[in-house]
């Protein structure tokens, strides 16, 4: 593989872009492919098959050809607002699914290295914290603090920026009050109803690890929906 292609791969990965690397196994030639890119002569005869594999996020040799395709998929990023106890269980579960995780909490006494290792932490209020993150619709938000001063600005940001998953911890009564505050802010019923609150699927558990598991199960389900819809 040419050094120019390797450099482009490194750059695109650092920018968290989606792309594929095509290799013609008969002669070793490679090139990078992404949506809208014109193919070189080694690959243009198989453009339909390549686009199909790319859209389906499939890796491997395209049947009947000597073309190998490997897809680099944009990672799903999860913002957790609130470095509370349940966040530790959430992170343990989420790491097994290769999510990119960031914790936002202005309360530095909660975000010690002993409690949260190898996780990006932003010790700031959500409005300021989101200025430091380049978000897109592949982001998910989980709010955990029950404190409107911390959770509400994060929910406002996620709704405005159309995060694919938004969940908020709290009782039904807490969520009713939360929804009312969002209405007063100007959000529509459709936007507000996109928030999963109380968060998580119904597993019947009440312990902290069980609640964390119910949240992760819901997030993984919605992540799979997102990936399936991206193939349409």
Whether residues 136 and 181 fall in one domain: yes
* 3 state DSSP class of 10: helix
Q: What are phi and psi of 99, to 5 degrees?
A: -75, 150
Give the model's confidence band at 161: pLDDT under 50 very low, under 70 low, under 90 confident, else very high: very high
Total domains in the chain come to: 2
Rounded to two decimals, the pTM is 0.76
d(CA 85, CA 94): 15
Residue after which a domain boundary falls, among 41, 72, 103: 72
Give the model's confidence band at 113: pLDDT under 50 very low, under 70 low, under 90 confident, else very high: confident
> Any idea what DSSP says for residue 106?
S
Whether residues 160 and 214 fall in one domain: yes
**Which residue range forms the structural domain that includes residue 61?**
3-72
Whether residues 81 and 68 fall in one domain: no
d(CA 160, CA 166): 11
> Any idea what DSSP says for residue 66?
S
pLDDT per residue as tens digits for the range 36-94:
888 888 898 889 999 988 887 788 999 989 999 998 877 789 999 999 999 999 999 99
Whether residues 22 and 134 fall in one domain: no
């Amino acid at each position: 593989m040419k050094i120019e292609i390797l450099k482009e791969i490194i750059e695109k990965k650092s920018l968290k872009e989606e792309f594929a690397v095509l290799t013609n196994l008969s002669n070793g030639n490679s090139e990078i492919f992404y949506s809208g890119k014109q193919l070189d002569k080694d690959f243009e005869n198989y453009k339909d098959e390549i686009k199909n594999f790319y859209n389906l996020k499939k890796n491997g040799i395209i049947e009947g050809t000597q073309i190998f395709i490997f897809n680099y998929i944009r990672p799903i990023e999860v913002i957790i607002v609130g470095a509370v106890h349940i966040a530790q269980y959430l992170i343990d579960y989420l790491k097994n699914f290769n999510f990119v995780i960031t914790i936002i909490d202005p309360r530095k006494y909660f975000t010690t290295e002993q409690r949260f290792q190898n996780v990006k932490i932003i010790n700031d209020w959500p409005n300021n914290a989101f200025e430091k993150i380049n978000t897109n619709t592949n982001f998910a938000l989980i709010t955990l603090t029950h404190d409107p001063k911390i959770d509400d600005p994060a929910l406002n940001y996620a709704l405005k920026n159309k995060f694919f998953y938004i969940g908020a911890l709290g009782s039904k009564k807490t969520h009713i009050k939360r929804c009312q505050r969002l209405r007063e802010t100007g959000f529509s019923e459709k936007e507000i109803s996109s928030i999963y609150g109380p968060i998580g699927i119904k597993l019947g558990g009440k312990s902290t690890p069980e609640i964390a598991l119910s949240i992760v199960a819901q997030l993984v389900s919605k992540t799979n929906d997102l990936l399936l819809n991206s193939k349409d």
